[in-house]
Amino acid sequence: MRSLIQTAIRLAIGAVLLAWIFHSIFLQEGQQAWAAQGHDWSDLTRAEQWHLAWTHGPGQLWDTLRLVRPDALVLSLVFMGLTVLLGALRWDRVMGGLGLALPVGRCLEISLVAQFFNAFLLGSTGGDFLKAYYAARETHHRKTEAVVTVFVDRLMGLLAMLMFAGLMMLPNIELLRGHRRAALLSFLILGMLGCCLILAGLSFWGGVSRGLPRAREWLRRLPKGDLLERCLDACRQFGKSPGLLSRILGLSMLLNIACVLQIQTLAWGLKLDIPIVHMLLIVPMIICVAALPITPSGLGVRENLYVLTLSAPQIGVEPTHALSLSLLAYAGFLFWSLIGGLFYLGMRRTQHLDQVAHPPPLGAESENEASPP
């Protein structure tokens, strides 16, 4: 029940954010259409304004979405698929760091299925838990290490994206000075980067026990304290391999560039004149903020951020076009999520994904004991 309530709240927040941004843009479109006919917008009542906005606005948005060039749309799907592939390769490197052997193709299949679960099913376990549990099934049920690989993969991915956005602030310093919304967003990104660096440092290298000698003893007293300690010890293995962390970070940077190219390709397809140097900053910042657990898949948050940043005078993209850009990018994500759904339907009977979709609680079975197929 708690999980259902949390999901309902996040869905409601996403719906409110989407309704707000659609309504604001439709009002603007309706006002422009009414003024083009030689009428005064202020002569209309509030109800008449809203009726005109929602009568004219959706059609205008659809016309804008149809403007995208088909070749640009296909190329953007290729870049989105490349992000999935690079993400699977990164997870494979992370698993190798803990001695968990899984073929790259298998990592890609599980990553696609996990993306499907994250995008559509919105369950309490989600795609990350599925990745961890299914990896444990194929690596002799080393559940603790499997969970750690998903945590480290997420942490390194977010850290790399935040670092990428921080570096791109330097060539965009003039934009940030004159763009108040982007400047506020950059301060949030720098704060997230600081927190992420602290979390990575504590996870990979520790240091708490030096200031608090009894920290480990207190950790063992917590519920599932032995599992938490094993997770911590597994994380420390990455701190002993700086070369591995560098390779993981390098793959993440390539993934970041693919994310930007996906959005930039769609912008070209919509004939939007946005300098790529601006996109190298704006896209990572939006991805990082949308990754916060506010709404499912960042729905609503992402659309508002694209409109607020790209419609500023310094960039000059019309709100309708900025919203179209965000919706087309999300459509690419859903396309590959549907591919993951096809993998799920094809794999669930032959490779036990039907059981993984509803796994038992972590720790319900022995660490070294496999459940029957």
Residue 182 in any domain: the answer is: yes
Query: Which spans in the chain are helix H?
Result: 2-36, 46-65, 70-97, 104-116, 126-138, 143-168, 173-178, 180-204, 208-211, 215-221, 225-239, 242-269, 276-290, 301-310, 319-347, 353-356
How many CA atoms lie within 13 Å of 253's alpha carbon, on the beta-carbon side?
A: 11
Per-residue confidence (pLDDT) for residue 141, from 0 to 100: 63
Q: Is the pLDDT of residue 41 over 50?
A: yes
227 and 172 within one domain: yes
DSSP for 74-123? HHHHHHHHHHHHHHHHHHHHHHHHTT----HHHHHHHHHHHHHIIIII--
| Domain end call among 19, 38, 66 | 66
Q: Check residue 365 and report its DSSP letter.
A: S
Q: How confident is the model at residue 357 (pLDDT cuts 50, 70, 90)?
A: very low
Q: Which residue has the tokens 């790259």?
A: 104
193 and 333 within one domain: yes
- Is the entire prediction scored with pTM above 0.85? no
The string of pLDDT tens digits covering residues 72-101 is 999 999 999 999 999 999 999 998 888 887
The string of pLDDT tens digits covering residues 154-174 is 999 999 999 999 999 999 999
Per-residue confidence (pLDDT) for residue 220, from 0 to 100: 63
Per-residue confidence (pLDDT) for residue 354, from 0 to 100: 45
- Mean pLDDT over residues 332-356, rounded? 72
15 and 91 within one domain: no
Per-residue confidence (pLDDT) for residue 42, from 0 to 100: 81
76 and 52 within one domain: no
162 and 306 within one domain: yes
Residue 44 in any domain: the answer is: yes
- Please give the Cα distance from 223 to 230 (Å, whole number): 13
Residue 294 in any domain: the answer is: yes
**How many structural domains is the chain composed of?**
2
Residue 370 in any domain: the answer is: no
134 and 98 within one domain: yes
- Note whether 352 and 137 are within 8 A (CB): yes
User: In one letter, which amino acid is 288?
Assistant: C
260 and 115 within one domain: yes
Tell me what the pLDDT averaged over the chain comes to: 81
Per-residue confidence (pLDDT) for residue 331, from 0 to 100: 87
- Note whether 219 and 232 are within 8 A (CB): yes
Q: Is the dihedral of CA 22, 23, 24, 28 positive or negative?
A: positive
Residue 104 in any domain: the answer is: yes
49 and 89 within one domain: no
Question: Range of 247's domain?
Answer: 72-356
| Domain end call among 13, 31, 66 | 66
131 and 278 within one domain: yes
76 and 62 within one domain: no
The string of pLDDT tens digits covering residues 262-311 is 999 999 999 999 999 999 999 999 999 988 877 766 778 888 899 989 98
Residue 245 in any domain: the answer is: yes
Burial 128-153 (b: 16+ CB within 10 A, else e): bbbbbbbbbbbbebbbbbbbbbbbbb
- Please give the Cα distance from 189 to 344 (Å, whole number): 35
341 and 250 within one domain: yes
240 and 134 within one domain: yes
Pairwise pLDDT comparison (193 vs 312), residue with the higher score: 193
Local structure of 320: helix, strand or coil: helix
| Domain end call among 66, 85, 105 | 66
The string of pLDDT tens digits covering residues 186-214 is 999 999 999 999 999 988 887 666 556 66
The string of pLDDT tens digits covering residues 103-161 is 888 889 888 888 888 776 554 445 777 787 777 777 666 778 888 888 999 999 999 99
Residue 367 in any domain: the answer is: no
Residue 199 in any domain: the answer is: yes
